[in-house]
C-alpha cells in the first residue's frame, strides 16, 4: 500500500514538473524576454595565443616576469594578491637575492605589531610574506575607488570563463559607447564615474583604463611595451598566480595517458594470449 501511495505521489510531482515546463516553454515562445543592452552588446573574450595553451603548453618565464612588472607598477596600487607570497616569485626565474630585494622595496608595507609598544605598525615585507593589501580595509578601498572595492587578483583567471583571454580583453576593451547602443537603449548611457567596456558583464565598471599608453612600463628585456603587449603579459602572470602548478598538471596528464595506452596494449595482448587456444 505504501509503495502504491509513493508511486502516485511521484507521478503527481513528475506531472506537475512537466506541466510547469510546458507552460514556461509556451510563455517563452509567445512572449520572449525583452532584449537588454547587456545581452545585445556584451562581447565574449577575444582569442589570444599563449605559450601555456594546449595540453603541452608551458609558461614563458620572460613573459611572466614582464607581467609581474606590469602588476607591480600599474595594478598593485589598487589590487591585491593575497594568496601569493614573495618567495613564490622564484618560480618565475628570480633568485633568492632578487626576491628579497623585491620584498624589501615593495611600496606597501606589511602590517605588524610593534614589539615595543604593542601597536600596529608597518614593516618591510620579507620573502615569506604574502603580497600586502593596498588598502587597510574595504571601507578605505571603496573610498579611494568611487565606492567600488577592487577585487583580489590571485585567482581571477580561475574565477572567469576564458580567464586569461578575459583579463586581456577587459584591459584592452575600454572604449566609447557605440552610437547603436544609445540609439537602441537610450537609458543605457554609462553613468558618470563609470567606464564602458563591452567585455564586462554589465558593460560598465568603476575601474578606469589602467593601461593607457605605450611605454607605461619599461621592460628590461627590450620588449616593446605596447598596451596590447602589457595586457597580454599581465594576463599571463595572473594565470600563473591562479595556476602555479599548471605545467606539473599537464605533465601528469600526459604521463597518465601514456601509462593508460601501455596498460591497454598489455591487457589486450594478455587477453589474446590467454584465450588464443580457446574454441568458441
Beta strand extents in 142-246 (DSSP E only): 195-196, 204-205
* Largest pairwise CA distance in the chain: 90
Q: Determine whether the annotation assigns residue 78 to a binding site.
A: yes
Burial of 279 (0-12, 13-18, 19+ CB in 10 A): exposed
Separation in Å, CA 102 to CA 68, 70, 72, 231 = 11, 14, 10, 22
Instruction: State the virtual CA torsion across 64, 244, 172, 142 in degrees, nearest 10.
Output: -110
Contact 206, 190 (CB under 8 A): no
Q: Determine whether the annotation assigns residue 58 to a binding site.
A: no
Q: Determine whether the annotation assigns residue 207 to a binding site.
A: yes
* Placement of cell 620579507 in the chain: 126
Sequence-distant (≥ 6) Cβ neighbours of residue 174 within 8 angstroms:
195, 196, 197, 209
Beta strand extents in the chain (DSSP E only): 110-113, 120-123, 195-196, 204-205
Nearest one of 197, 148, 192, 189 to 172, comparing CA atoms: 197
CA within 13 Å, CB half, 19? 6
Q: Determine whether the annotation assigns residue 195 to a binding site.
A: no
Return binding residues.
75, 78-79, 207
Return binding residues for heme c.
75, 78-79, 207
Amino acid at each position: 500500500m505504501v509503495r502504491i501511495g509513493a508511486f502516485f505521489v511521484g507521478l503527481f510531482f513528475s506531472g506537475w514538473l512537466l506541466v510547469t515546463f510546458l507552460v514556461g516553454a509556451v510563455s517563452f515562445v509567445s512572449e520572449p524576454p525583452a532584449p537588454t543592452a547587456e545581452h545585445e552588446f556584451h562581447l565574449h573574450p577575444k582569442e589570444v595565443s599563449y605559450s601555456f595553451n594546449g595540453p603541452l603548453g608551458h609558461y614563458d618565464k620572460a613573459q611572466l616576469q614582464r607581467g609581474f612588472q606590469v602588476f607591480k607598477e600599474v595594478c598593485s596600487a589598487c589590487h591585491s594578491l593575497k594568496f601569493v607570497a614573495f618567495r613564490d616569485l622564484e618560480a618565475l626565474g628570480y633568485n633568492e637575492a632578487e626576491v628579497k630585494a623585491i620584498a624589501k622595496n615593495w611600496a606597501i608595507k606589511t602590517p605588524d605589531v610593534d614589539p615595543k609598544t604593542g601597536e600596529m605598525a608597518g614593516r618591510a615585507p620579507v620573502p615569506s610574506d604574502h603580497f600586502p593589501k593596498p588598502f587597510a580595509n574595504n571601507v578605505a578601498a571603496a573610498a579611494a575607488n568611487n565606492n567600488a572595492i577592487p577585487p583580489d587578483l590571485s585567482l581571477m583567471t580561475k574565477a572567469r570563463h576564458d580567464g586569461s583571454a578575459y583579463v586581456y580583453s577587459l584591459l584592452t576593451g575600454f572604449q566609447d559607447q557605440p552610437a547603436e547602443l544609445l540609439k537602441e537603449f537610450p537609458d543605457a548611457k554609462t553613468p558618470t564615474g563609470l567606464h564602458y567596456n563591452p567585455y564586462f558583464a554589465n558593460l560598465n565598471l568603476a575601474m578606469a583604463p589602467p593601461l593607457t599608453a605605450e611605454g607605461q612600463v619599461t621592460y628590461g628585456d627590450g620588449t616593446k611595451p605596447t598596451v596590447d603587449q602589457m595586457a597580454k603579459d599581465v594576463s599571463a602572470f595572473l594565470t600563473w598566480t591562479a595556476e602555479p602548478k599548471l605545467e606539473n598538471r599537464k605533465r601528469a596528464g600526459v604521463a597518465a595517458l601514456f601509462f593508460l595506452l601501455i596498460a591497454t596494449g598489455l591487457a589486450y595482448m594478455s587477453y589474446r594470449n590467454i584465450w588464443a587456444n580457446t574454441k568458441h
